[in-house]
Structure 1
Amino acid sequence: MERVGVRCDVGPGRGIGHVMRCLALAEELLRRGLEVVFVCDAHTVPWAEAQIAARGIAVQPAAWTPAEHTELIARLRLDAVVFDSYDLDAAVYSAVRATGVPTLAIVDGDFRGADADVLVDQNLAAELDRPRLPANSTRLAGLTYVMIRDEILALRPLEPPAPRPVAVPKVFAFFGGTDAFGAGPYVVQALAATGVPFEATVVAPRPELADQIGAVELGPQQGVDVIGPTDQLAATVREADLTISASGTSTWELLCLGATAGLVCVVDNQVMGYERAVATGTAAGVGVLSNLKTDPSAAAAVLKRLLTDPAERARLAAAGWELVDGNGRIRVADALLAIT
Structure 2
Amino acid sequence: MLRECQFEKLTSRQGNRLRIVFRVDASLEIGTGHVMRCLTLADVLCARGATCLFVCRAHPGNLLNSIHQRGYETLSLPKIGEGAGVAQGTGGTQPRHAAWVGVDWTTDARQTLALMKDKFADWLIIDHYGLDWCWEGVLRPVSARIMVIDDLADRRHDCDVLLDQGLGRSALDYEGLVPSACKIFAGADHVLFRPEFHTLREESYARRKIPRLRNLLVTMGGVDAFNATTAVLEVLGDFPLPPECRITVVMGLNSIWLEQVRDRAENLPYATQVLVDVQNMAEVMAANDFAITAAGITALECCFLGLPTLAVVLADNQRRGAKALHDAGVVEALDVGDSIGEGLHAKLPHLLRSEKLEKMQRACSDFMRELDDRRGNTGLIDALL
Q: TM-score scaled by structure 2?
A: 0.76
- Cα drift, residue 159 of structure 1: 8.8
Q: Which residue of 2 is the match for residue 211 of structure 1? A: 260
Q: Which residue of 2 is the match for residue 17 of structure 1? A: 33
Q: Which residue of 1 is the match for residue 216 of structure 2? A: 171
Provide the secondary structure at the position in 1 that maps to 2:217.
strand
Distance (whole Å) between structure 2 residues aligned to residue 263 and residue 281 of structure 1: 12
- Cα drift, residue 194 of structure 1: 3.7
Distance (whole Å) between structure 1 residues aligned to residue 369 and residue 276 of structure 2: 31
- Cα drift, residue 108 of structure 1: 0.3
Unaligned runs of 5+ in 2: 1-12, 79-104
Q: Which residue of 1 is the match for residue 288 of structure 2? A: 240
Q: Which residue of 1 is the match for residue 109 of structure 2? A: 66
- Residue from 27, 34, 37 that aligns with 2:50: 34
- Cα drift, residue 174 of structure 1: 1.0
Q: Which residue of 2 is the match for residue 102 of structure 1? A: 145
Q: Which moved more, 1:207-216 or 1:86-95?
A: 207-216
Q: Residues 216 and 10 of structure 1: is their aligned pair in 2 closer, same or farther, counting only changes over 3 Å?
A: closer
Do 1:256 and 1:323's aligned partners in 2 also have CA atoms closer than 8 Å?
no
- Residue from 112, 118, 126 that aligns with 1:75: 118
Distance (whole Å) between structure 2 residues aligned to residue 30 and residue 302 of structure 1: 42
- Cα drift, residue 146 of structure 1: 0.6
Q: CA-to-partner distance for each residue in 1:29-70, whole Å, 9 max, x for gaps?
A: 111211110111368447x44542233210011485333334
- Residue from 273, 296, 301 that aligns with 1:225: 273
Letter in 1 for 2:226: F
Q: Which residue of 1 is the match for residue 339 of structure 2? A: 291
- Cα drift, residue 207 of structure 1: 6.4
- Residue from 291, 312, 317 that aligns with 2:364: 317
Provide the secondary structure at the position in 2 that maps to 1:75.
coil
Q: CA-to-partner distance for each residue in 1:310-330, whole Å, 9 max, x for gaps?
A: 323423432453355496897
Do 1:125 and 1:142's aligned partners in 2 also have CA atoms closer than 8 Å?
yes
Q: Which residue of 2 is the match for residue 115 of structure 1? A: 158
Q: Residues 115 and 282 of structure 1: is their aligned pair in 2 closer, same or farther, counting only changes over 3 Å?
A: farther
Aligned 1:41-190 pairs, distance under 5 A: 41=57, 44-45=60-61, 48-62=63-77, 65-97=108-140, 101-127=144-170, 129-132=172-175, 133-135=177-179, 136-157=181-202, 162-166=208-212, 168-190=213-235
Distance (whole Å) between structure 1 residues aligned to residue 362 and residue 54 of structure 2: 39
Q: Which has the higher contact order (CA 8 A, sep 6+)?
A: 1
Q: Which residue of 2 is the match for residue 307 of structure 1? A: 352
Q: Which residue of 2 is the match for residue 256 of structure 1? A: 304
Distance (whole Å) between structure 1 residues aligned to residue 173 and residue 59 of structure 2: 37
Q: Residues 323 and 185 of structure 1: is their aligned pair in 2 closer, same or farther, counting only changes over 3 Å?
A: farther
Do 2:251 and 2:258's aligned partners in 1 also have CA atoms closer than 8 Å?
yes
Distance (whole Å) between structure 2 residues aligned to residue 328 and residue 84 of structure 1: 24
- Cα drift, residue 171 of structure 1: 0.5
Q: Which residue of 1 is the match for residue 328 of structure 2? A: 280
Do 1:117 and 1:138's aligned partners in 2 also have CA atoms closer than 8 Å?
yes
Letter in 2 for 1:165: P
Do 1:171 and 1:242's aligned partners in 2 also have CA atoms closer than 8 Å?
yes
Distance (whole Å) between structure 1 residues aligned to residue 119 and residue 266 of structure 2: 54
Distance (whole Å) between structure 1 residues aligned to residue 279 and residue 218 of structure 2: 14
Q: Which residue of 1 is the match for residue 7 of structure 2? A: none
Distance (whole Å) between structure 1 residues aligned to residue 287 and residue 35 of structure 2: 25
Letter in 2 for 1:279: D
- Cα drift, residue 3 of structure 1: 0.6
Q: Residues 200 and 320 of structure 1: is their aligned pair in 2 closer, same or farther, counting only changes over 3 Å?
A: farther
**How many residues of Structure 1 are paired with residues of Structure 2 in the alignment?**
331
Do 2:77 and 2:111's aligned partners in 1 also have CA atoms closer than 8 Å?
no
Q: Residues 286 and 315 of structure 1: is their aligned pair in 2 closer, same or farther, counting only changes over 3 Å?
A: farther
Distance (whole Å) between structure 1 residues aligned to residue 273 and residue 125 of structure 2: 38
Distance (whole Å) between structure 2 residues aligned to residue 308 and residue 250 of structure 1: 23
Do 2:75 and 2:115's aligned partners in 1 also have CA atoms closer than 8 Å?
no
